[in-house]
Amino acid sequence: MVENIATDLRGSVVTGLSGNEIYCVDMLGYHPGNLLVGNSVYARGLIGTFSSGFRAMIGGEVTPITQTIAEGRRLAMDRLMDEMGASNGHGATGVSSEVIFHASNIEFLSVASTIHQKEGVPTSTFTTAADGQELYCQMDAGYTPISFVMGNVAYSIGLARGIGGMFKQLVKGEVRQYSDIFTTTRNLALERIIADAKAVGANAVIGIKTNILPFQGTTIQEMLMVGTASRHEIQNEAVQSHEVITSDLTAEEMWGLARIGYTPLQLVLGTSVYSLGFLGGISVSLKNLVKGEISEMTELIYSAREESLGKVKQQATDIGADDVVGVRTYIYDLGGGMIEFLAIGTAVKRTQSITTKSDQLIPQAIITDKDTFVNTAELSYGTTITSRPTS
């Protein structure tokens, strides 16, 4: 078998898979193939031109930038797929979609590792955001990968900075108008990743990772969600009422919950924008001069947190979920005495129609790989050296 693999791949294989990942994909019936790379470079000025007209914008999506970024990411992904086809790959694991800022350009970069089916003829090829270890967990939990999918939205964060004076007249508390704008904006990325999944015939998007990326030199940020569109034959009324279930559970969490009969229903998120108000801002400024608790900020952040978590709970209740698991919370300073509080997690349902193929996960699927490269170049040479990992 080893000789056949070497002959089929025509020389040494250069892969991004770790030893543990190779073990896991071997257990799934695959052997490693070469690293795949796809990229697309855009003029940095293009993004700046689009963003300049939105500096005083009240908020929401900046559609031309969303479309430009999405196009760059898609082109990079298409070229990665071309490489996979040229190498007769049966799958691409650990697919990423990155943005690298060069001096005058922006590079959209996708990187993955090919895998090849060891025996038989594959009925189809697939791409997945999961690495080799995550792929093992997901497939053992019954999810068959179809395609790497993503959804993005570029939005202005200049609302508070550009018209900050306006907020000085506001009373302290939630600014409902802006909470609604940010809620709509955040959900656009989720709607788009679901649309990607529907287009390839999936009924689940799993392993969703969410990233918020500031675009240097602009007032624009991008919210990006990436995951794997998959197929799971789940016979359950609560699950089937969702055309596409969504989850940001880790692969190990999903396997563990599936083992005891839980299935994800929907990624849920709640966002709230709060203002200190004019008097609150003065009070905080004065209290910053002395030591001790700033009670106004304590109360503001607590209220924002409670409001966001309440929205998450209500969404889960509305879809008949039993629990919301893996909840994480984030705070963003919008300027002008305003903050956004974001809560995100996965609503799950207990059902008798889901379990795992194995009684236990193999150790190689959950071992954390250690980094064996220590970058001390800056210390050694006494100068600034910028390095970027590419996978």
Residues 188-217 pLDDT 10s: 999 999 999 999 999 999 999 999 888 776
Q: Is the pLDDT assigned to residue 169 strictly greater than 70?
A: no
Percentage of the chain modeled with pLDDT above 70: 78
Tell which residue, 234, 215, 223, has the closest CA to residue 354.
Answer: 234
Q: How confident is the model at residue 287 (pLDDT cuts 50, 70, 90)?
A: low
Residues 80-92 pLDDT 10s: 999 999 999 999 9
Q: Where are the domains of the chain?
A: 2-354
Q: Is the pLDDT assigned to residue 282 strictly greater than 60?
A: no
Reported pTM:
0.85
Could you tell me which residue, 14 or 353, shows the higher pLDDT? 14
Could you tell me which residue, 24 or 355, shows the higher pLDDT? 24
Contacts of 20 (CB under 8 A, 6+ apart): 132, 133, 364, 365, 367, 369
Average pLDDT, the chain: 83
DSSP annotation string for 57-103: --SSB-HHHHHHHHHHHHHHHHHHHHHHHHTT-SEEES---EEEE-S
What's the pLDDT score for residue 2? 43
